[in-house]
Structure 1
Amino acid sequence: MNDLVHSISPATHTQSNIYQLRRQKCVVPSPYQGMMLFIHYNILNIAAAVFLVYYLQTCFSSYSFRAEDIPLAYLFHRTFSLLDILENNMEALKVNDTLFKGSHSTEDLLKYYNNWAQTGKYDEHLSVDNGYKGPHITAQAAAEVFEPNRRPTVQILDVAAGTGKVSQELRQLGFTNIDALDPSGSMLAQARKKNLYNNYICDFLSEYTMPARNAFYDCITTSGGFGLGHIPADALHDLIRLTKKGGYIIIAMREEYIYMSCYNDILEPLMRKLENEQKWQMVQRTVIQEYAFNKTGVLYIFEVS
């Protein structure tokens, strides 16, 4: 993971305070590093606590349960499994925050995403078990607006498709005609291995994206594509351009990103402006608790006019 993190260099190269401190041989650990140190130094304490629970269980087994019901090996396994989940969750959050700082060049972001996909860490980090619910929420939203008997024929474009997490969820709900749009070739290569999409379009979302497919899709989905340095607010025009009249656009994103520099007083005002211009109509705006890494998210559903 350190190799991945160091593969990105900020677009504006200024030495931060922490690097200056390191040159002076005074290293200040990040909150992530501090938590990891705390966990690793306390593993023996946790193991001792588990042993104590087992010992007490054995002593008082005649009262309510038998010692063999929960073997020591199982207790240790569960303890260290929970530690692994916690560490993996924190690593995923760190990677996510690194990517969405907004200070990286497009080339650096692509290198990072390509490496992330190639190592297999992307699917590991952005999983439901690891606290990322965006793809599941997005697919459920699509299921709300399309009846089961219609889903096999619905044409869907998954924007910022990554390795295909949204498509996996959509297919479980009966959707089969799904195209992927993502600028990372390595991400799409992983999705292709799983045969998750009909077409794999390696490109950014812009006014030049797929001009031959204007008003082609019944539904466009994007989960986690909006954030600093990622899909710009004015790309809403292109989402509408590619969607049929009466079709739906579903956007899932972290709520905190709405108030960051690239979207604050821009994204939601533009959404309302497009509604006033009768380009689309907002069907739903829902705040999602624990959307990703215990952070709040927002789900938008629009119907194109």
Structure 2
Amino acid sequence: MSDSSRTVDDLRTFIKPLAGVDSQQRVKFYDSWAETYEQDHKTMSYRAPHEMVEFLLDNFSGRPEQVQVLDVACGSGLVAKLMVELGFKHFVGVDGSQGMLDQAAKTGLYKELKLALLGTEPLPAQTGMFDVVMIVGALRDGFVPVSVIRELCLAAKPGGYIYMSRNGLKSESGNKYKVCMEKELQLMEEEELWSHVITKEMDKYMIDVFNHREDVQNEKYISGTMYLYRKSLN
């Protein structure tokens, strides 16, 4: 069976080695996954990029063709492919996997693509440069640490928008990450670094391929949350 014909159960088995690996092993995994990443995510009914771009459309009133977008944890370029259909043209992408960046480069949509392992290396983005900063799917335990959220805010222009999504995977580490993340969001608001615009829940973030219990059925979905903040003008 070719990689492109993997089923949900196949993907549960395929992804299982991600549990408990260190950051370097995770990068190697994503490098090897890059070529079939998008097809596999279709199999997983991965709705987060589509939901996030609709969320952007509902809450952004600028002129898309003039907007500078920082696509953090850009992967193969799924978000940029959807945003370009809405008229956005200027993208800079950042990811920890060179294999994923190679796939993103094939889209021809990014003026720059930068390799960085977030949390261990600083976000390679100029301070106050971007009208929109996006991070979809990477805010979770073992991937992008909560500390990176301040770097996302720093990269935005004064008055710029920071769009973030987090999956709602039910686990001890996932619950702990949620608490830490939302505490940091609130703290940054109290520090007047940004203001909260809206938070929206997603019922069907993606099929749960991370749970390996035998009683889990393919139709069981992970929920998710989308957050929108606006950077302070001062």
TM-score of Structure 1 vs Structure 2, range by shorter chain: 0.7 to 0.9
Greater relative contact order (Cα 8 A, min sep 6): structure 1 or 2? 2
Distance across 1 between alignment mates of 2:107 and 2:95: 16
Within the candidate set 117, 126, 147, 2:41 is matched to: 126
Shift of 1:144: 2.3
> In structure 2, what is the equivalent of residue 298 of structure 1?
225
Matched, 1:104 2:21: yes
Q: Is the 8 A contact 1:218 1:247 kept in 2?
A: yes
Paired positions, count: 216
Query: Which of the residues 250, 270, 281 maps onto 2:163?
Result: 250
CA displacement at 1:233 relative to structure 2? 0.6
Q: Whose strand proportion is higher, 1 or 2?
A: 2
Distance in 1 between residues matched to 2:172 and 2:162, nearest whole Å: 21
CA gap of 1:284–1:198, structure 2 versus 1, over 3 A, is same
Contact 1:158/1:179 (<8 A) preserved = yes
Paired AA for residue 28 in structure 2:
K
Shift of 1:96: 4.7
Give the alignment's TM-score, normalised by structure 2. 0.84
Residue in structure 2 matched with residue 163 of structure 1 by the alignment = 76
Structure 2: tracts of 5 or more residues without a match: 208-220
AA in 1 matched with 2:201: V
Q: Does 1:187 align with 2:104?
A: no
Residue 7 (structure 2) aligns with = 88
- Segments of structure 1 that go 5 or more residues without pairing to the other structure are 5-83
Change over 3 Å in CA distance of 1:301–1:214 after alignment to 2 = same
CA shift at 1:236, angstroms?
1.0
| Structure 2 Cα separation of the partners of residues 195 and 138 of structure 1 | 21
Q: What is the CA-CA distance between 1:209 and the residue it aligns to?
A: 2.7
Q: Give % identity.
A: 26
Question: What is the Cα deviation at residue 205 of structure 1?
Answer: 3.1
- Equivalent AA in structure 2 for residue 122 of structure 1: Y
Q: Which amino acid aligns with 1:113?
A: Y
- Pick closer, same or farther for the CA change 1:189–1:274 going to 2, 3 Å: same
Aligned partner of 1:268 in structure 2 is 182
Whole-angstrom distance in 2 between the partners of 1:286 and 1:98: 31
Structure 1 residue aligned with 2:136: 223
Cα deviation, residue 196, structure 1: 2.5
* 1:255-296 residue CA offsets vs partner (Å, 9 max, x unmatched): 236962651531111111111111111111111111111211
Q: Which residue of 2 aligns with 1:135?
A: 49
Structure 2 counterpart of 1:248, one-letter code: Y
AA matched with 1:282? H
**C-alpha distance 245-98 of structure 1, shift in aligned 2 (>3 A):** farther
Q: CA separation in 1, counterparts of 2:170 and 2:132? A: 23
1:258 touches 1:267 (CA, 8 Å); kept in 2?
A: no
Q: 1:137 to 1:95 in 2, by over 3 A?
A: farther
- Counterpart CA distance in 2 for 1:174 and 1:259 is 40
Q: CA distance change for structure 1 residues 218 and 284 in 2, over 3 Å: closer, same or farther?
A: same
1:282 equivalent to 2:196? Answer yes
Q: Secondary structure at the match of 1:232?
A: coil
Q: Which has the higher helix share?
A: 1
1:216 Cα deviation from its structure 2 partner: 0.4
Displacement, 1:92? Answer: 3.3
